[in-house]
Amino acid sequence: MISFIIGIVTVVAIYCILVLALNIRWGYCGLLDFGVAGFFLIGAYTAAILISAPSESYLFGVRHTAGYGLSWFIGLIASAVASGSLAFLIGIPTLRLRGDYLAIVTIGMAEILRYIVINEKWMTRGVQGIRDIKRPFESFFPAASLPSDIILLALTLAILALFFIIASRLFVSPFGRVLRAIREDEVVTSFLGKPVPRFKMLTFVLGGIYMGVAGALFAMYVTAIEPYQFIPTYTFLMWGCLIIGGSGNNRGAILGGALIMGLFIQATRFLPSIPGQPQLIPALRYIAVGILLIVVLRLRPRGLLPEKTIKIEEGGGVDAKR
């Protein structure tokens, strides 16, 4: 039972990191990222390839690139670098154009990455996916055990907390101020002397790093990843969490993530399956999220926890009030 709860909290926390990252891109800077699943995927697969144990089954011809058996820490760093680099590459042509273009490019990027993963079997084992991804300290605490779950949960929560603190400090900093200005009116911000593309790129890459790390954590959590876990549906769910929870607001992001993903994963436990139509109930969950998103957009566009305005006191203390 405890193991089950720990598992749920861990995976929800991982998705919360994704929502947080999305908030940094959209909520702070107004960047429309519809390719969250793609950055998540790159992080997960990079970590999986580096961390999982070397295995003969990976040997095709001379090359075997899957399974290096490296440590979880290296996996995390590599995922961060991979995802951040992807963000950089995607950003070069798109960040200087209107926001819609970034949206379209990221959608396509995420799907193409998924296709590459499915087709380049020599690297990723295609639809079978990569298995036996090692948890941290696997040699002391085997994967199926409670201590292993606890360690991963602790690691995930620690990273979530760290990322949250970084994001919050950025929000109230002069850097964050420029981002918020860009979000509202890019042109004016530019005329005030701020190099807008540079700020956008930094934001986009930071979001990428967060998402890559989340992907690595995810790979370690499930210990077996496959392409279907990265379909565009998950990108959309992250947006649902963010909009419903309150975009522009880190606490809202986490609230939305916890609420939607928590309820989401739980919902199928309590709703019975309709015989003959096994896919009906799960799909209904997604439909519900979609409808909820549109309803929130219409009635309360700021989400459940609206964005804070920053009031500054004379002593130099900054107070973020609602």
Partner 1 sequence: MLNAKGIVKNFGGLTAINRCSIEVEKGSIVGLIGPNGAGKTTLFNVITGMYKPDAGRIIFKGDDITGLSPDQICQKGITRTFQVSRELKVMTLLENILLAYKNQRGESMLRGIFNPVSVREQERRNLEKALEILNAMRLYELRNESAAILSGGQRKMLEIGQALATEPKMLLLDEPTAGATAAETAMVVGVIKKMREAQGLTFLIVEHKMEVIMGICDKIIVMSYGEKLMEGSALEVRRNEQVREAYLGREA
Partner 2 sequence: MIYLGFGIIAGAVLALPSLTLSLLCRNCKFFNLAYGDQMGLAAYLVLFLNVSLGLNFLISVLLSLIISAILGVIFYWVIFKPLRRHGPLVLLIASLGLAFIIHNSELAIWGPNPQKYNIPFETGLRLGPFIMTPIQLLLIGLSFALTGGIFAMVRYTGIGRAMRATADNLELAKIRGVNTERTFIWTWVICSATAGLGGIFLALITTLTPWTGFITLLFLFSALILGGVGNLVGALVGAMIIGLASECAGILPVLAPYKIAVAFAIMFVCLLFRPSGILGKERGF
Question: How far is Cα 309 from Cα 284, in angstroms, rounded to an integer?
Answer: 37
| Interface residue with partner 2, options 2, 139, 275, 279 (CB under 8 A) | 279
Among 54, 69, 93, 147, binds partner 2 (CB under 8 A): 93
Can you tell me whether residue 254 is helix, strand or coil? helix
**Non-local CB neighbours of 162 within 8 Å, separated by 6+ positions:** none
Q: Is 174 in the site for partner 1 (CB under 8 A)?
A: yes
Type of residue numbered 244: I
Among 99, 132, 284, 307, binds partner 1 (CB under 8 A): 307
Q: According to the binding rule CB under 8 A, does residue 178 interact with partner 2?
A: no
Residue 301 touches partner 1, criterion: CB under 8 A:
no
Choice from 56, 270, 277, 313 touching partner 2 (CB under 8 A):
277
CA dihedral over 274, 277, 278, 281, signed as positive or negative: negative
Query: For partner 1, which residue of 173, 266, 268, 273 counts as binding (CB under 8 A)?
Result: 173
Q: Which two tokens stand for residue 107?
A: 């959608």
The residue within the footprint of partner 2, chosen from 232, 259, 262, 307 (CB under 8 A), is 232
Question: Minimum distance from CB of 316 to partner 2 (Å)?
Answer: 35
Q: How many residues line the site for partner 2 (CB under 8 A)?
A: 44
- Using CB under 8 A as the binding rule, whether residue 169 contacts partner 1 is answered as yes
Residue 271 within binding range of partner 2, rule CB under 8 A: no
Per-residue b or e along 65-100, where b marks 16 or more CB atoms closer than 10 Å to that residue's CB: ebbeeeebeebbbbbbebbbebbeebbeebbeeebe
DSSP string, 285-297: HHHHHHHHHHHHH
> Does 189 contact partner 1 by CB under 8 A?
yes
Q: How many CB atoms within 10 Å of residue 264?
A: 19
Burial 144-174 (b: 16+ CB within 10 A, else e): eeeebbebbbebbeebbeebbeebeebbeee
Residue 98 CB, nearest approach to partner 1 (Å): 16
Answer for which of 9, 166, 236, 265 binds partner 2 (CB under 8 A) is 236
Q: Which residues lie near partner 2 (CB under 8 A)?
A: 30, 32, 34, 92-94, 97-101, 103-105, 107-109, 111-112, 115-116, 118-119, 232-233, 236, 239-240, 243, 277, 279-280, 283-284, 286-287, 289-291, 293-294, 297-298, 301
